Structures are given as structure tokens and as C-alpha cells.
């Protein structure tokens, strides 16, 4: 009887490291990132750029998995414009910056950035963000995510005219149409017209509903 052949243990497939292109106009910062990323498993820096134009050219030549992109790059195109030129090629761009203003975040995301990370994040967060970006997954620093959510909530809030806000405020005080008309020196017909518009904007059909939504969305001063 032929002895059974021992089973060959299954081996994990060898994963290729994530190939990174650094873009920062400060040589000292690039050197620090090179040293930091050199200690990270599964990450390989394949190039570094000191300007937006250089990043665009190297991204086309080296075809990295991820470009780690600063926003402020001195003379020439900035990080947003470089991102706008790189993103359509299929190379993922992960913004790494000290700036977290609404304008910077919006411009970078609209330009095609896969993620937006602040330089104050811990190294482990940076490593995780790089791996996520390589897979096309969005990663945002917590402060950036909060700003994005605040903007989304703000965009979802209905826009009321000053007069509509005045009438809504009177509603919240329990006044009827006649009392509102007297308080604001307008006709009852005008009050009814504004109420119809308020109801439509808030998606309600009652006075109580309008007041409830207004309080929930902080539309009342």
C-alpha cells in the first residue's frame, strides 16, 4: 500500500506592495515621509516630486498606485490642479496636507482626490489610508469628515427668504394669520401665500409641522 502523500500547507498569495509617489515642495518633509514610509509594511516609495508639474509627469511615467499629494506647492500648479490632471489616468490621489478649510477640501474632492488626510494624523492612520486609497476606497481625517458632513447638512437645509423666516418665527409663537399680518404690517392674503411657500419648502402641510421642522433644522433664530 502506497503511503499517503502529506498535504502541502496552503500558502498565502504574496501581495505586491502599494507603490507610492510623494509630492511635497519641502525636501525636509519628503525626507521625513520617505523614512516613515520605509518602515511601513506593504508600502514602497517609487518616486518623489517637488512640484505639481513634476508629480503629473512622474505619475504618467511611473504609474504608481497612489500619489501622496500636498496642496500648497509653491510656484507652478498647486496640488488641486495636479490632482485634476492625475486622477483621470486611474492613479489614485491621497491628499496629505495641513490645510482643512472648506474651500480646500471641496476643491480637492471635486478634482478627483480619493482621500484627504491631515499631516497631524498618526502614522498608522496614514498607512491605513494609503492601503485604502490603493483600493479606491475613500479615507477622510475625522475633522475633514466632520466638515464634509456639516456642508452636506447645510446644503440639505431649505432656503427661506427673510419674510418667510419672519412668518415662521411668528408661527412658532403661536400667532394666527390675522395676528401675523398685523405684526408684520402685511395682508392676511400675503401671509397665506408665504405660508404655502413655507410648507412646500419644508415638505409639510400643517402649521405645527412647519414649526417642528424649523426647530429640527435650526431655521429659527
Which parts of the chain fold into alpha helices (H)?
27-38, 52-62, 79-86, 102-111, 123-134, 142-156, 162-172, 177-184, 188-202, 207-216
Whether pTM > 0.75 for this model: the answer is no
Per-residue confidence (pLDDT) for residue 51, from 0 to 100: 94
Cell triple for residue 169? Answer: 418665527
Mean pLDDT of 170-198: 93
Q: Which long-range contacts (CB under 8 A, 24 or more apart) does 218-221 make?
A: 219/157, 219/158, 219/160, 219/165, 219/168, 220/165, 220/168, 220/169, 220/172, 221/165, 221/169
Instruction: State how far the Cα of 171 lies from the Cα of 208, in Å rounded to an integer.
Output: 8
pLDDT in tens, 3-20: 555 555 555 555 789 999
Cell triple for residue 194? Answer: 408665504
Helix, strand, or coil (residue 37): helix
Mean pLDDT of 112-133: 91
Residue corresponding to grid cell 516609495: 45
Instruction: State how far the Cα of 180 lies from the Cα of 177, in Å rounded to an integer.
Output: 5
Q: Which of 47-56, 94-103, 141-150 has the highest mean pLDDT?
A: 47-56
Q: What are phi and psi of 200, to 5 degrees?
A: -65, -45
Please indicate whether residue 13 or residue 113 has the higher confidence score (pLDDT). 113
pLDDT in tens, 26-54: 999 999 999 999 888 899 999 999 999 99
Query: Is the pLDDT score of 150 beyond 80?
Result: no
Amino acid at each position: 500500500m502506497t503511503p499517503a502523500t502529506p498535504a502541502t500547507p496552503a500558502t498565502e498569495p504574496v501581495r505586491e506592495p502599494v507603490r507610492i509617489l510623494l509630492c511635497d515642495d519641502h525636501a525636509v518633509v519628503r525626507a521625513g515621509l520617505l523614512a516613515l514610509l520605509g518602515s511601513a509594511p506593504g508600502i514602497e516609495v517609487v518616486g518623489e516630486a517637488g512640484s505639481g508639474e513634476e508629480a503629473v509627469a512622474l505619475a504618467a511615467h511611473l504609474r504608481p498606485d497612489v500619489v501622496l499629494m500636498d496642496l500648497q506647492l509653491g510656484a507652478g500648479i498647486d496640488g488641486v490642479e495636479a490632482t485634476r490632471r492625475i486622477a483621470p489616468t486611474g492613479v489614485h490621489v491621497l491628499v496629505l496636507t495641513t490645510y482643512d478649510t472648506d474651500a480646500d477640501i471641496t476643491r480637492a474632492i471635486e478634482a478627483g482626490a480619493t482621500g484627504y488626510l491631515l499631516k497631524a494624523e498618526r502614522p498608522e492612520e496614514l498607512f491605513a489610508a494609503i492601503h485604502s486609497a490603493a483600493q479606491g476606497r475613500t479615507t477622510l481625517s475625522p475633522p475633514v469628515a466632520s466638515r464634509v458632513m456639516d456642508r452636506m447638512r447645510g446644503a440639505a437645509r431649505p432656503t427661506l427668504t427673510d419674510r418667510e423666516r419672519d412668518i415662521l418665527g411668528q408661527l412658532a409663537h403661536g400667532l394666527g394669520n390675522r395676528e401675523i399680518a398685523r405684526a408684520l404690517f402685511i395682508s392676511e392674503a400675503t401671509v397665506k401665500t408665504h405660508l404655502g411657500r413655507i410648507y412646500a419648502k419644508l415638505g409639510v402641510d400643517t402649521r405645527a409641522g412647519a414649526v417642528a421642522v424649523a426647530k429640527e433644522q435650526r431655521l429659527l433664530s
